[in-house]
């Protein structure tokens, strides 16, 4: 029961932080919305700052478990089509998972106030994707699936437009279906430009 209450507090805090920001979130309102009194919250967290820190740590773990990271790499695709499929699966998760959506909104709001949020925003919006796809592309080059190139630069060129499209969905949710099609079209264009076609392999 205690664990359930703690999880409910963190989930409600995520919802309120993502809507109102840290400064705009009131502990009394948070606990009241859960049918709790402040003393109940203090059995689990000393203050709002501890809720914030715990929530950020949990969001990192949640994101990595579902999406991956430089420390938890996805398998190197065995074909160009597998890269497209892996990309679309990742995009689907990050665009449709409500917890991840709220996490992005929270980081977007708080990156200018909180150093930990700023570091996480940089990691999740820019460097983390590049760091994750760099070894993936290096592995695909070793397998003869991608043309030899700088894998880090290629990873940045691949992930930056996709990340921008995902942020577009946060601002304009009605464009989600169109955005998913754009991401798939971009992924296939990338493969066409940088991939090694079967006939090319046969001619080597």
pLDDT at 40: 79
- Measured CA to CA in angstroms, residue 84 lies from 10, 87, 158 at distances of 34, 5, 11
- CB neighbours (10 Å) of residue 116? 15
User: What's residue 199's pLDDT?
Assistant: 44
Task: Identify whether the C-beta of residue 141 lies closer than 8 Å to the C-beta of residue 151.
Answer: yes
CA separation for the pair 109, 112 (Å, rounded): 7
pLDDT, residue 202, reads 46
Q: Give the H or E element holding residue 13.
A: helix 2-20
Domains of the chain plus CATH, in order, are 48-196 (1.10.357.10)
Look up tokens 């700023």; give the residue: 118
Q: What CA–CA distance (Å, rounded) separates 17 from 109?
A: 9
pTM for the structure as a whole: 0.83
C-alpha 46, offset from chain centre: 29
| 2: confidence class by pLDDT, cuts 50, 70, 90 | low
* pLDDT digits 0-9 by tens, 72-87: 788 999 999 999 999 9
């Amino acid at each position: 029961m205690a664990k359930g209450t703690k999880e409910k507090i963190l989930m409600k805090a995520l919802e309120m932080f993502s809507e109102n920001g840290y400064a705009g979130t009131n502990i009394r309102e948070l606990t009241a919305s859960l049918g709790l009194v402040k003393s109940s919250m203090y059995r689990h967290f000393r203050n709002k700052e501890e809720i914030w820190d715990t929530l950020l740590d949990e969001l990192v773990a949640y994101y990595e478990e579902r999406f991956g990271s430089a420390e938890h790499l996805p398998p190197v695709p065995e074909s160009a089509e597998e890269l497209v499929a892996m990309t679309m699966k990742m995009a689907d998760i990050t665009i449709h998972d409500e917890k991840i959506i709220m996490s992005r909104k929270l980081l977007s709001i708080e990156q200018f106030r909180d150093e930990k949020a700023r570091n996480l925003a940089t990691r999740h919006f820019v460097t983390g994707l590049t760091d994750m796809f760099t070894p993936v592309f290096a592995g695909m080059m070793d397998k003869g699936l991608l043309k030899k190139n700088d894998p880090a630069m290629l990873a940045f060129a691949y992930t930056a437009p996709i990340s921008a499209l995902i942020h577009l969905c946060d601002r304009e949710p009605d464009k989600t279906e169109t955005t998913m099609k754009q991401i798939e079209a971009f992924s296939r264009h990338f493969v066409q430009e940088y991939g090694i076609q079967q006939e090319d392999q046969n001619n080597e």
